[in-house]
Chain A
Amino acid sequence: KNQVEQSPQSLIILEGKNCTLQCNYTVSPFSNLRWYKQDTGRGPVSLTIMTFSENTKSNGRYTATLDADTKQSSLHITASQLSDSASYICVVRGATNKLIFGTGTLLAVQP
C-alpha cells in the first residue's frame, strides 16, 4: 500500500535553533518527493522537489535529503525563525498523477 509517514507529529523549538523532520514512504514506483510548508488557513507552498537521482537539495534555510534505497527523506531547517511555524508536509508522487500526502509535522518556533 502506498503510504507516506512523517515524524515527529509535532515539534516545538526555540527561535534560532535547527531541526530535522523525517519522512518515510512506501510509494512504488517512485517519481518524485516534495516538501511543502502550509501556514494555518493557507494552501501548501512548495519548498523542494527531488527526483530519484537527487540526494540533497537546498532552498535557503531549508535542506532536503533523499535516500531512495531506504525510501527516506528529511527536511532540515537551519536557524529557525518565528515565521517557520507551520505544518510541513511530505508528498510523494508515484506512477500516476496522484500525490500521496504525509500526515505532516506541526512545527512551532518559540521566541
Chain B
Amino acid sequence: GAVVSQHPSWVICKSGTSVKIECRSLDFQATTMFWYRQFPKQSLMLMATSNEGSKATYEQGVEKDKFLINHASLTLSTLTVTSAHPEDSSFYICSASSAVGDYGYTFGSGTRLTVV
C-alpha cells in the first residue's frame, strides 16, 4: 500500500533558528502534497498545497515567507519553518496524492516541533 514517510518525527529547536521537515512518498509518485498543522485537541488545518515543479499555494493567513515549501520531485516535499518562535510549536503533518491509482490522501506520521 501507499506509504508516506515524514522526518523527523520530533524536533526541538531554539527560537530564531530554522527547521526543515521532509515528506517522502515511498512507493508512488505524488503529484500533489499537502502540509497541515494540528494544535492539541483540534483537527488538521491545511497550510499549503504544492504540486511538483511549481510554487506552493498557501491558505489564507499562512505566511509563505515563514513556511517555505519545496516540491522539487515527485517523491519529496519539504517544509522549512524559518526563524521559528515558540508559537510555531505544533504538530505538522504532510499528505500525498497521486493523479493515478487510489492512494489519494495518505498521511505522513507527523512531526512534533517544539521551539524553546
**A residues apposed to B, CB below 8 Å:** 34, 36, 41-46, 49, 89, 91, 93, 97-99, 101-104, 106
What residues of A have a CB within 8 angstroms of the CB of B32 in the complex? 97
A93 to B105, CA, bound (A): 10
Does B58 lie at the interface of the complex (its beta carbon under 8 Å from any beta carbon of A)? no
What residues of A have a CB within 8 angstroms of the CB of B34 in the complex? 99
A89 to B34, CA, bound (A): 17
What residues of B have a CB within 8 angstroms of the CB of A97 in the complex? 32, 49, 97
B43 touches A45 (CB 8 A): no
- 6 cross-chain CB contacts under 8 A: A43-B6, A97-B49, A97-B97, A98-B49, A101-B43, A103-B43
Q: Which residue of B lies closest to A45 (CB)?
A: B107
B110 touches A42 (CB 8 A): yes
Closest CB of chain B to A86's CB: distance in Å? 13
A41 touches B91 (CB 8 A): yes
A104 to B45, CA, bound (A): 13
What residues of B have a CB within 8 angstroms of the CB of A102 in the complex? 43
A49 to B101, CA, bound (A): 14
Instruction: Give the residue of B6, B49, B107, B112 whose beta carbon is less than 8 angstroms from that of A44.
Output: B107
Most buried by B among A36, A49, A97: A97
What residues of B have a CB within 8 angstroms of the CB of A101 in the complex? 43-44
A44 touches B44 (CB 8 A): yes
Q: Which residue of B lies closest to A32 (CB)?
A: B104
Does B84 lie at the interface of the complex (its beta carbon under 8 Å from any beta carbon of A)? no
The residues in B between 94 and 111 inclusive whose CB is less than 8 angstroms from any CB of A are: 95, 97, 102, 105-110
A34 to B6, CA, bound (A): 21
